[in-house]
Chain A
């Protein structure tokens, strides 16, 4: 899966689960400050990302995540670790 595909999946989750308008979803959007994703939502988001990564995700892997691009990068990194 390419990073663009991942971003599209992430975008779909944000719209369905948190009712976020598509025009607010950009790679540089910050989860907390721009999209109002709080710590409770973050737990949900990680659960929903699991099928994309194809394995269990440790919340620790997302500790330093601020923007949507960070989420995609973290996911991409995890998948490549898994297949390496």
Chain B
């Protein structure tokens, strides 16, 4: 009985949290960002402040979900995400991974699905922060390298989309290409959610049996120089080897589905 009540509450709490997220996005777009653009004229400063605002908004959102009883979390090594000019690569089990990561990174840049730049709830923040849009085609890798060299902390999920619940993890080679062409040192972050929820294709109201528990660990940096040396300084080939390496690296983090 108590269990059923707990689960029912978490469905309501998730509805509250997700509505707040949408409304927050709308408010930022209609009120906060227009004001910011009025007060701050310089474009670079606007972008920096917009990113900092998203960072704090996401911190608040994570706290809201914690207080509502949707999730708990442990974070290890967060201070190492505050160094400038990082290429942060993470596995991608759930819908809210990026919310966690941006809540830990004040100057985050990320690659955003072009559809989010058109969605009314996310358009404002996506445009104001100047996040990289994934519709720029061949120039995308170059844009990402430029961002890291400019001192931003670029967050990429090498899988490109959430990890499939059944079936193997599949990595795109884009992230490794950014690393080998930069060249940029990689700061890997592993994300674990138990019981696994908010996965691809799972509706938000299917809450897991127990409260979600996130374990986020910032791991030791991975240097790309050995990969380049091993591939005769051919970035495309080094990116293939690095992708295989990252695949094994992150696959060990993929837990079996808890089965709700």
Q: Which of B149-157, B203-211, B221-229, B233-241 contacts A (4 or more CB under 8 A)?
A: B233-241
Asked whether A40 is an interface residue with its Cβ less than 8 Å from the other chain, the reply is: yes
Asked whether B141 is an interface residue with its Cβ less than 8 Å from the other chain, the reply is: yes
Q: Which of A1-9, A12-20, A50-58, A73-81 contacts B (4 or more CB under 8 A)?
A: A12-20
Given A38-B173, A40-B173, A40-B177, verify A18-B236 contact (CB < 8 Å): yes
Q: How far is the CA of A42 from the CA of B137 in the complex (A)?
A: 12
Closest to A45 in B: B236
How many A-B pairs with Cβ below 8 Å?
Answer: 28
Asked whether A59 is an interface residue with its Cβ less than 8 Å from the other chain, the reply is: yes
Q: How far is the CA of A43 from the CA of B138 in the complex (A)?
A: 7
Which residues in chain A, 30-68, are within 8 Å of chain B measured between CB atoms? 38-44, 59
* Interface majority SS (helix, strand, loop, mixed), chain B: helix
Bin chain B's interface residue count. Answer: 10 to 19
* Interface majority SS (helix, strand, loop, mixed), chain A: helix
Q: How far is the CA of A28 from the CA of B92 in the complex (A)?
A: 36
Closest to B138 in A: A43
Closest to A38 in B: B173
Min Cβ gap B224→A in Å is 16
Q: How far is the CA of A18 from the CA of B232 in the complex (A)?
A: 12
Q: Please report B residues at the A interface, Cβ cutoff 8 Å.
A: 137-138, 141, 172-174, 177, 234-237, 239-240
Q: Please report A residues at the B interface, Cβ cutoff 8 Å.
A: 16-19, 38-44, 59
